[in-house]
Structures are given as structure tokens and as C-alpha cells.
A and B are shown apart, each in its own frame.
Chain A
Amino acid sequence: MNRNTRFSDSPLTTDTELVKQTKQGKISAYGELYDRYFKQLYRYIYFRVQNQEEAEDLTEMVFLRTLEAIRRRRGTIDNFQGWLFRTAHNLVIDHYRTEKSQVSLEKIAELSDSKKTPERQVQHNIDSGELVCAIATLSPEFQQIITCRFVSDMSHAETAKIMGINQGYLRVLQFRALRQLRKVLTEEFGHHD
């Protein structure tokens, strides 16, 4: 469970500086921001939509919308990562609503059945399809915490910043989200420790 900490390390050029350079028309600056966050953002979106092509398209759209926001705003964006993931969160909600492609329980049940092979099973005999299905039953807030913290490998501080809450409250929500998830796994899928 070693976390990749590159996102919390101080990069050579800060996000804020790259945003500023982007606003001034330096194209490569936005390329650097793209390289810095593409994979993390893709993982976040993929996990929410469970489809590679849709996740790729939405990831591209998030970067385009954020670019538009950088250009349009009079001021700068101080928390680029937070902005990016909040935009992603909003787009995923839009996507669920408009494309009718929400990860339905039935859809994930199919996913779960079709992927019950030993190599697809994760630890403690919980199938990944079942896990995704269980997470889909949680509130959007709980889903966001679990996706940011454990799928996109963000720290408590990064997740709190993205959600606009303080770290103390985030810890409480994280606990509640995990407890609720465990309850769903136990009651709906019969997983016991």
C-alpha cells in the first residue's frame, strides 16, 4: 500500500505558475499540467464510469473545460488539481444523467458475474465487480472520497481540498464511507471478515 507521493512533492514548477504561463499563451505549460495529472484523473473517471472509452473522452473534456476556464477567468486558479477534479466530478454527474450510462446495479452484476475468475479476484475474496457495485450504491460524497483516496491515490489533504472541506471532517467522512461500504458488502454480497 505504498502511496505514490509525487503529487504531494514540490514539483520544479508549481501548478499555479504553470496555470499563469498557460494564461499568458505558453502552450507547453498546459502540456506539463496534462502530463502531471492525466493518469490520476483518468483513474478517477474510469472508476466512476467503468468504461475505458468513456473515461478517455471525459478526461479529455475535463482538460479542455479547465483550459477554457483558465482563459476566461480574470484571475488565476490557485488550486489547479482541485479545479480539475471538481470539474471531473461535475462532468461525471452530467454523464450519468444525460448518457443514461450510469453504472446500474444490473450492469455491474453482469460485470461481476463475467469477471469471477481467479485473476480478477482481489484480496479477501471480494470480486472487483462486486466492489464497484457496492460503491455505486453509496452517496456521491462517499463515492468521491473513496475514489479520490483509494483509486486515484490522493492524500487526505488533496482530497479535502478538492471537496472543499477541512481534513478533520474528511477523516470522519472517510470513516463513514468505509463503514457504509463494508456494510453493503456484508449485507448485499455476504462478505464477512
Chain B
Amino acid sequence: MAIMIDIFASKLADCVESIEGGEFTIQDCLQKYPEDSEELEQLLNLVVVLENIPVKPPDEDFEREARARILSASSEQNPGGFFTWLKGGLAGFAALLSPRPAFRLGLLAVLLVVLLGSGVMYASAQAMPGDFLYPVKIFIEDARSIISGDDKEADLQIDLSKQRIKEVDRLIDDHKFENIPDVVERYVRHMDKISTAIDSQSSDQEVATDEKSEVISSELRKNIEVLEELLDKVPDEAKPAIENAIEASSKNQDKLNELFPDGKPGGGPKD
């Protein structure tokens, strides 16, 4: 049965290609394969219908403006701030050394220590939102993101998201509720980066994703559980931010479940 389906599928594909290329008409195909003419005719007629489905064209202004916006994003320089400037400089420097990632990593670490001092870096790790050293902490996290490989991006963002959750927990203990929305905003950005990393994984069929997607999904589930506990501890005005964080986490979890139902993208055999 499977072989018969394969044969018919090949005949159908052959006919569709020949008709699309203008070499055959439907009648030519039916004459070529008289034994299957009945079903072929039905399906080829359906193909003709499908190829004539009206599609509302895009607005020409939109097409032009979107192009300008995208190209502007392509050339965008990172704006403002010493740390942002430094991060951009390091990223550019790192890109120059891209053929030698191990060397690049070491050099960036040395640069960070020289520029900031190891004591500052250590102290910044404990910094909380509102502290003088908190921007240093965020800068170092961003630098880690730059030097980490694409395949490690989701893991790193999961680690950083957990850091944000710890900060929210501490802010609750310290009754500094006003800082919670900013921290949660960063948490949502980590979730956005995880979403992009998931897209990359599902787009890059050479990357093994089975175990990895399970691990990420499990970590997201833990995040959601903790955030739900935190939701009960915060005042009403901070609840929407936490709910937003839960929603962002859930979306990534749903995406993983949908894209990798069996732990792998695609699902069909490959060449």
C-alpha cells in the first residue's frame, strides 16, 4: 500500500510540475497516466483552484517603509551610556577575533577585569536594582551573552532569568516593590531572547534539540512555579508585572511543546 501511495504521489508531483512548467495540460497528464486518471483529474483541478486563490496584496507604502525600517535597524548604532558603548566596542572587537573563539573569550575576560577591576566585578554580582553597581552587573551579563555561542544562548538566558527572579524575591523581602516592574521587564527580555533562540534551533536543522528543549522546558516550568508563589506576596500594583512574566514564560514553554513535540524539529525523514 505504501509503495502504491509513493508511486501515485510521484505521478501527481510529475504532473503538477509539468503543468506548472507549461509542458503539459491536465488532459496530457490524464493521457499519460490513464490508470489513475480519475483521482489525478480531481487533484489537479484542485491544484488549479489553489493556485488561483486571491491574496490581498501588501500596501506599497508599507513595503517601502518596512524596508527602510529594517535597513535602519541593520545599520543602527547602539545608543547612549558608557556601558552600552563599551559593550558595543567589545562586541566589535570580539567579532574581529571570531575565528579564534577560545582566545577571544580569554581576551574579553582579561579586558573586563582590567577595565572594571576584579573587586568591582565581584561586588557587582550581589548588586540589586537601584544600587550603584547594578548597571555593572547588567553590563557583565550582556558581555556574557556576547561571548556565549548561539547554542548556549537559551541556557544563559535561563540562568539570567533565574537571577531576575531572585532579585524580585529580595525586593519583596526588602519591601522595595517600586523596583519590581523594571526587574520583570528585564526578565521578559530574557524570555524574548529565549524565544529567538528557540526559533533558531527549530530553523537550524543541524542543531540537536531533543534533550535541550526538555531541559529548557523544565526550567521554564520551575520559573513559572516560583513566579506564581511570588504573585501571592506582592501588592496589587506589582501583580500585573509578575503576571506578564508568567505569561512570557508560558509562551516559550508552549512554543517548545509545539515545535518539538517529540523533542525534535521537523518530523519527516531527511535526505
Contacts and interface: CB of A to CB of B under 8 A. Distances in A.
A87 B22 contact: no
Given A1-B48, A52-B56, A165-B269, A60 B12 contact: no
Contacts, number: 188
B52 A94 contact: no
Interface in B42-81: 42-43, 45-56, 58-59, 62-63, 66-67, 69-71, 73-75
B21 interface: yes
B67 A131 contact: no
B266 interface: yes
Contact of B66 (A59, A168, A176): A59
Contact of A169 (B41, B59, B66, B268): B268
Contacts of B89: none
A172 B46 contact: no
A191 to B, nearest CB: 9
B50 A171 contact: no
A116 interface: no
Contact of A165 (B5, B50, B268): B268
Interface residues of A, number: 76
The DSSP consensus for interface residues of chain A is helix
Range for the number of chain B residues in contact with chain A:
35 or more
A166 interface: yes
A175 B73 contact: no
Interface of B: 5-6, 8-10, 12-13, 16-17, 19-22, 39, 41-43, 45-56, 58-59, 62-63, 66-67, 69-71, 73-75, 98, 101, 149-150, 153, 195-196, 198-200, 202-205, 251, 254-255, 258-259, 265-271
Interface of A: 1-3, 22, 25, 27-28, 30-31, 34-35, 38-39, 42-43, 46-47, 52, 55-56, 59-60, 63-65, 67-69, 72-74, 82-83, 86-87, 90-91, 93-94, 97-98, 120, 122-124, 126, 128, 131-132, 141, 146, 150-151, 153, 155-156, 163-176, 178-179, 181-182, 185, 193
21 contacts: A1-B20, A1-B48, A2-B21, A3-B21, A28-B71, A46-B55, A46-B56, A46-B58, A59-B58, A72-B150, A74-B150, A123-B52, A124-B45, A151-B53, A164-B265, A165-B268, A165-B270, A166-B269, A175-B5, A181-B46, A182-B42
